[in-house]
Amino acid sequence: MKIVDARVVLTSPGRNFVTLKVETDEGVTGLGDATLNGRELAVVGYLRDHVVPLLLGTDPYRIEDTWQALYRGAYWRRGPVTMAAIAAVDVALWDIKAKVAGLPLYQLLGGASRERVRTYGHASGRDIPELFDSIRARLAEGYPAIRVQTGVPGLERVYGVHHGATPDGARPVVEDWDTGAYLRSLPGVFDAVRQEFGPELTLLHDAHHRLTPIQAARLGKDLEPYDLFWLEDCTPAENQDGLRLVRRHTTTPLAIGEVFNTVFDYQTLVGEQLIDYVRSAVTHFGGVSPLRKLFDFAAQHQIKSAIHGPEDISPVGMAAAIHLDLAIHNFGIQEYAGHTPLTHEVFPHAYTFTDGYLHPGEAPGLGIELDEELASAHPYEPAYLPINRLQDGTIHDW
Ligand code: KDG
Ligand code: MG
């Protein structure tokens, strides 16, 4: 079998998605997600100009060899653009291999280790009543676990939550931030949530890289009475050593890694068991092949998976995640923010979301299609994530 064509499809059925479609001389096709929120065009160019020409004529069964050739052969390694592009190829080739085998991808990854995949959803509100309404809405949808984000008194927007296309597409929205106000208000929010919803509900929180290690240590400690499933991205972890300080001070479980793209970003974090959950997405980590290796490394340190699953991971990336979730032993939880009805139409899929649990379905391959005609009716729209400034105008992590 040979790869005879590979196309990059950029579509915006509510938000932008980058999809690679690989075609073979035997008519079997594979899909991969390469969406990099706010930097989509860079990945489109990388794939179209530098990856697709290298794929033509190659054997789609040689997934590991192709991965290594794209990673090592570029000479310039790592980085989100490169790794999103490689991820799309890796996933598309797994899709092809599983389709030819006539098996859902999870069977090629070792088969099911569980019956279904537990998820968490997002609740957010500017104040406590709005937050409670949002939590009730997620509970009504069946979510067994909920990430709680809320407004901070004195700040305009709910932090860490973004709302799709920017009004002026060419420029990011500017938000405001005050770490002191956040640290003072958040424990009270979780206290109110526990009083209203009781001790059983699984709760998570995302600090979105906004704290220094000592601030993160304090927050983790202050949240201990509220029994969080995890505190996510409490500090930017490019400085992996900083997590030692956080860890020394708190027993609140920690989750990190949605912006990471290789195992090297995790060496200290996993090797010294400084975190409890790894958050990388199939889409941003070079695909199923390297993420599987990361999970095996993490398992040696009793660290579990928690694949990133916001709206900006396409249904193709989500499908790949769900197959992996079902197969690995050290599964923790899967984030599932869902997609717009139009997105589900552009990407018809076999995976299901029922009572808060996902299942990849039994269709051969990833179990996902791309309606190219519908996709082309919804072209790319420039959109950026917000940026953050402190009250004196200093730029801060968003
Ligand atoms: O593109 C950025 C989003 O994916 C990110 O803000 C979502 O932090 C996020 C999460 O945990 O889902
Ligand atoms: Mg996050």
Q: How would residue 164 be classed by pLDDT, with cut points 50, 70 and 90? A: low
Q: Which alpha helices (H) appear in the chain, and where do they start and end?
A: 40-45, 52-55, 63-73, 80-101, 105-108, 128-141, 179-197, 213-223, 242-249, 267-271, 288-299, 315-327, 341-346, 372-376
**For ligand 1, which residues put their CB under 6 angstroms from it?**
37, 206, 208, 258, 308, 310, 312, 335, 385
In terms of pTM, does the model score above 0.95? yes
Rounded to 10 degrees, what is the CA torsion of 41, 343, 337, 358? -120
> Ligand 1, atom 10: nearest CA belongs to which residue?
310
pLDDT for position 262: 98
310 CA → ligand 1 middle, Å? 6
- Please report the atom of ligand 1 found closest to the CA of residue 279: 11
What's the CA gap between 296 and 45, in Å, rounded? 32
pLDDT for 310-337, tens place per residue? 999 999 999 999 999 999 999 999 999 9
Instruction: Exactly one of 122, 205, 208, 323 is catalytic; name it.
Output: 208
Q: Is 159 a catalytic residue?
A: yes
Distance CA 324, CA 91 (A): 11
Q: How far is the CA of 261 from the centre of ligand 2 (A)?
A: 14
Residue with the two structure tokens 């499908």: 319
> pLDDT digit string (tens) for 222-278?
999 999 999 999 999 999 999 999 999 999 999 999 999 999 999 999 999 999 999
Which atom, in ligand 1's list, is nearest to the CA of 309? 12
Mutating to test ligand 1, I would choose from 235, 312, 388 the residue with most ligand atoms within 8 A of its C-beta, which is 312
d(CA 21, CA 9): 8
Instruction: Give the domains, in start order, of the chain with CATH numbers.
Output: 3-104 (3.30.390.10), 108-361 (3.20.20.120)
- Of 35, 43, 206, the residue with max ligand 1 atoms within 8 A of its CB, to mutate for a pocket test, comes to 206
Q: How many residues does the chain have?
A: 398
Name the phi and psi angles at 308, rounded to 5: -60, 130
Active site residue 396: no
